[in-house]
Amino acid sequence: MYQVPCHQVERPLIDQALTDIEDRTFARWHRMRWGHEYAFEAFAETCDELLDHVAACAWFDPALSGPLARAALRNAAECAAAVLDRKLWPNGDFEVDFPVLTARYGTTKLTSPETSYSMDEPQTPPVAEWVRSFALCLISSAFEVPWRRNLVLKFDVAPEIHGSPTEPAAALAEMDALADYLVDGDQPPLVVKPDRQARVRAALRLDAARPLTPDQHLLRVLLDDDQSAFEQALADRLDRYREDIGDDPAPRTLLPLTAIALANLAVLAHGWRLGVRSGYLPEGLLPEPPTDGPPATEPVDATGGHSLPDVDDRLHDLYEHLTGIQQRALRMIPLNPGPQISTAALSALTGLPAAEALATAEALARMSLVEVGQPYGWWRLRDPVRTFVTALGPAEAGEHDGALARLLGHYRAGAVDAGHQLHPTTRDRKRMFTGRGDALVWLDVELPNLIAAAGTAAETGHPDVTRHIALALAEYLDLRHRTADTLQLSTLALRAARQTGDQSAQADALNALGAAYRHLQRFEEAVTAHTDAAAICRQNDDRLGEGRALNNLGSALLSRQRYEEAITAYTDAAAIYRQAGDRHREGLALNNLGSALRDVQRFEEAITLLTEAAQIFRQAGDRRREALAVNNLGSALKQTGRLDEAITAHTDATEIFRQAGDRYGEATAWHGLGLARHTAGRPDEAAAAIEKAATAYQETGDHHWHQRTLALLDQIRAR
């Protein structure tokens, strides 16, 4: 037996709630009847005032033996229902009874023909108001003839609320689970216990929508059909309710309506005699359990137990009700190596047309076997479901390898097509994506899947997939400054290439690995990786590959302040690209060479090369690298005292980086602009630029440069 004490309400508030309820209600009724004040707010206020009276009566008489208290409860239920009606159908017919006035005044119904119609726009009520109306409908129906509001709640109001895009999934799952208890016909009883299939489905939907509110958690426990667990959860809920009550509570707070309604369901639908006693559960609001045994809709086992089967049994019940296509798709989803699977990937995995794959995923989501991912069109298996279907294995013997190959092929094709969108010199770039922005959105969502797919491919005999994904993502990872991901992918690609003996793939992987090492300030390892890549390309007479390796080697050497070696490497790379007629890559080498010459104070040579590099990138349509060259040019111009030109260059670079979507590049440009303005004696403008640089560095996760720019900002403002 559980005993749960209540919180205290000030005695003057109790006395006020007990006094003149008929007169106060009549005054409200009169304003509605003759003043046409029948907006939903008027009904909501009346409901609250009536519940204050009911709670005050229960304070002294928990059995609610007085007819006025019971009439007030029924009247509150009428008003709660009217709130829903007036929000959803402000111009429709309505009828609201006022039983608290019947004994004194006779018939006091408010009906639409007696009043003017409202011109208010319809509103969708929140689930909380539906639950409140449900609770009052159920609790007040324990008296005399059940009040037949359940059909409207279930079949009229609930579907309207489902159309709201703002309601949380947990709230909708709560409403649907409660609606399952309402009978569909016009004959008693008002509620029945849903069959096991319905309760399993409702429980899974609530599980998928976590975190739950305390009342939603209590409902979730009720669905397990375990009386002892429910009693413990009910006592815990009431304890927490008491602890969460604020200052100066109204009398109606003594009636936690949802918890009382769930206790009613436990008695009426599950057939339990509850062992929880509390002032929050007045005996007059709890019915007696049925005398002819629990009104279950399913057979009770020989042991008399009523608990749901374990998770595997529940999932097995749901699984058996799926179509063959749904079963096959569900069993294949665990083959996806990443955290969520897109509709397109599901189509590739299962071999279903895209439209059928979408319909299948949506059906599984409605049964809470999969969750809707982010954004819509991606899907996630819940952990219990993943465990269950993984144990089942693929849908058909021997189908695993073929399905995995199709899935990996999908990820490779998507990565390659998206990578093409980011390379301005690549032809035939519009296949899977409509443009650069479309590709970036897809890559942002799919990156965890692509990295996982590369790892799975390396482990399952698909090294080409690993290599192609790693190569295709290089530009994207550089743009997003995802150094750790670059390191992971290039390490996978190098291992796969060495296993297959593919030297060209080894050189590609070493180049990517060296770039990751350089960003991680592991400069000697970067030099080694790029040197090895250049040697492999030279051995295989791969001139363009050698040029790429030398260009990257120059950057690693420059990071170690080995300036002359870096200049030599950049110069050799530029010569190789020029000889091959690859102007874009020549621009890459010239930009790097110009930066190195700037660092050794050969400013005029640097300005010439950086200007040429910017022109090459502009002609190629590579806006991001144009911004990089222009930003470097601004730095060189500042060093020669050409401050106005430097400020113009850095200003241009900030805008071009912004247009290219390179937030980190934008940070470096704002930084350079701030330094140029500071040198030009414009401290306020310099501080504004440095502040923007600090913000951008912080947003991109570069804590080192964020702190350095903040320190610089303090220095500028202190002068």
- Token pair belonging to 241: 């309710």
Three-state DSSP class for residue 60: helix
SS3 428: coil
- In single-letter form, the type of residue at position 66 comes to G
396, two tokens: 């058909």
CB 585 within 8 A of CB 547: yes
Model confidence pLDDT, tens digit, residues 295-341: 444 433 333 333 333 456 678 888 888 999 999 999 999 999 999 99
Mean pLDDT, the chain, rounded, equals: 87
For the stretch 568-585, pLDDT in tens is 999 999 999 999 999 999
The arithmetic mean of pLDDT across residues 426-430, rounded, is 53
pLDDT in tens, 589-646: 999 999 999 999 999 999 999 999 999 999 988 999 999 999 999 999 999 999 999 9
**What's the token pair of residue 655?**
């805008």
Residues whose CB is less than 8 angstroms from the CB of residue 420 and which lie 6 or more positions away in sequence, other chains included: 426, 428, 429, 431, 472
How far is the C-alpha of 595 from the C-alpha of 606, rounded, in Å?
7
Q: What is the pLDDT of residues 10-56, one digit of tens each?
A: 999 999 999 999 999 999 998 888 866 778 899 999 999 999 999 99
Instruction: Read off the pLDDT of residues 338-349 as tens digits, 9 standing for 90 and up.
Output: 999 999 999 999
**pTM of full prediction above 0.75:** no
**Domains in the chain: boundaries:** 2-285, 311-397
126 sits in which H/E element = none
Which pair of structure tokens corresponds to residue 422? 């980011």
- Residue 168 scores a pLDDT above 60: yes
586 three-class SS: helix
Distances (CA, A) of 143 to 34, 150, 188, 596, 679: 31, 15, 13, 89, 85
Does residue 275 have a pLDDT over 50?
Answer: yes
pLDDT number for residue 290 = 61
pLDDT given for residue 583 in this prediction: 94
Residue 369 in tokens? 């076997």
Residues with Cβ within 8 Å of 11's Cβ and at least 6 positions away in sequence, in order, are none
Q: 193-239: per-residue pLDDT in tens?
A: 998 878 877 887 888 777 889 999 999 999 999 999 999 999 999 99
Work out the percent of the chain whose per-residue pLDDT is above 70.
Answer: 91
Give the integer Cα–Cα distance in Å for 61 and 74: 17
The helix (run of H) or strand (run of E) holding residue 24 is: helix 21-35
Q: Cα(653)–Cα(433) distance, rounded to whole angstroms?
A: 27
**pLDDT over 90 at 131, yes or no:** yes
Pairing of strands 341-342, 378-381: antiparallel
Task: Report which residue type is found at 544.
Answer: L
The overall longest dimension of the chain from CA atoms, in Å, is: 105
| Residue written as token pair 């895009």 | 165
Predicted confidence (pLDDT) per residue in 680-708, tens digit: 999 999 999 999 999 999 988 888 899 99
d(CA 75, CA 592): 80
**Residue 394 neighbours by CB distance under 10 Å:** 18
> Measured between alpha carbons, how far apart are the two ends of the chain, in Å?
74
What's the pLDDT at 591?
96
Q: Is 275 helix (H, G, I), strand (E, B) or coil?
A: coil
Is the CATH code 3.40.50.620 the one for domain 311-397? Answer: no
pLDDT, one tens digit per residue, over 534-547 is 999 999 999 999 99
